[in-house]
């Protein structure tokens, strides 16, 4: 038996066993990735039995003169990974697509409360939905994109599901139902 033989499946299996039974301290860390590599890094880390949080946001943007719905990273160039820094730091640091773990050689842990808050707002496909709680009836708002861009109005109410809201437009004296993500309070 050659003791220098490298077997990736053996190394992988021993890591999983090692984490599952050793009682190591698992913390969340922010991992800074190369641009547009969040999904690839998340997949590579998950393949190594590291829990990853890769939140997304659903936005409406103009592409080719049309308003389309796009899904983008909630934190561009960042994913969160839960691992034991003593045993998996190098594995994460040298994963293809990773620039560094935030804090570099002294990684900074992300508090569990932050991760829990993000997870509570996540829906299917890791999409984070932020409810328009920042708006109250009577607040002055401005539309930041779409056909009514730069129009001002008054926030009236959130609709069922909280993804859309109803505002009263000043210029046209009418009600408009619009995506909550298209508004900013003024």
Q: Do 23 and 107 share a domain, yes or no? A: yes
Q: Do 151 and 173 share a domain, yes or no? A: yes
38 CB-side CA count, 13 A: 18
Residue 132 covered by a domain: no
Q: Do 41 and 121 share a domain, yes or no? A: yes
Structural domain of 147? 140-185
186 CB-side CA count, 13 A: 13
Distance CA 122, CA 88 (A): 26
Tally of domains within the chain? 2
CATH code (residue 153):
2.30.30.30
Residues in the chain: 186
Q: Does the pLDDT value for residue 2 go beyond 80?
A: no
pLDDT per position as a tens digit, 115-153: 998 998 888 788 887 665 678 888 899 988 777 888 899
Q: Do 36 and 95 share a domain, yes or no? A: yes
Q: Do 74 and 112 share a domain, yes or no? A: yes
Domain boundary among 76, 96, 126: 126
Q: With both helix axes pointing from N to C terminus, report the angle between 8-22 and 85-93 in degrees, rounded to the nearest 10.
A: 140
- Average pLDDT of span 150-167: 80
| DSSP track, 13-68 | HHHHHHHHHH----EEEEEEE-TT-HHHHHHHHHHTT-EEE--EEEEEEEETTEEE
Q: Do 21 and 108 share a domain, yes or no? A: yes
Distance CA 50, CA 104 (A): 19
Q: Do 110 and 146 share a domain, yes or no? A: no
pLDDT per position as a tens digit, 29-68: 999 999 999 999 999 999 999 999 999 988 777 788 887 8
Q: Do 16 and 88 share a domain, yes or no? A: yes
Q: Do 70 and 21 share a domain, yes or no? A: yes
Q: Do 81 and 32 share a domain, yes or no? A: yes
């Amino acid at each position: 038996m050659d003791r220098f033989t490298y077997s990736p499946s053996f190394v992988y299996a021993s890591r999983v066993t090692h984490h599952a039974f050793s009682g190591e301290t698992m913390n969340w860390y922010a991992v800074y990735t190369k641009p547009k590599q969040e999904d690839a890094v998340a997949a590579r880390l998950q393949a190594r039995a590291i829990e990853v949080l890769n939140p997304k946001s659903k936005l409406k943007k103009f592409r080719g003169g049309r308003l389309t719905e796009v899904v983008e990273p909630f934190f561009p160039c960042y994913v969160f990974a839960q691992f034991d820094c003593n045993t998996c730091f190098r594995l994460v640091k040298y994963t293809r697509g990773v620039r560094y773990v935030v804090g570099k050689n002294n990684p900074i842990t992300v508090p569990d409360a932050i991760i829990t808050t993000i997870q509570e707002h996540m829906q299917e496909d890791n999409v984070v939905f932020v409810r328009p709680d920042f708006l109250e009836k009577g607040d002055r708002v401005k539309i930041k994109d779409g056909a009514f861009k730069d129009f001002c109005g008054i926030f009236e109410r959130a609709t069922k599901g909280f993804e859309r809201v109803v505002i009263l437009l000043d210029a046209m004296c009418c009600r408009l139902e619009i995506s909550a993500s298209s508004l900013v309070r003024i």
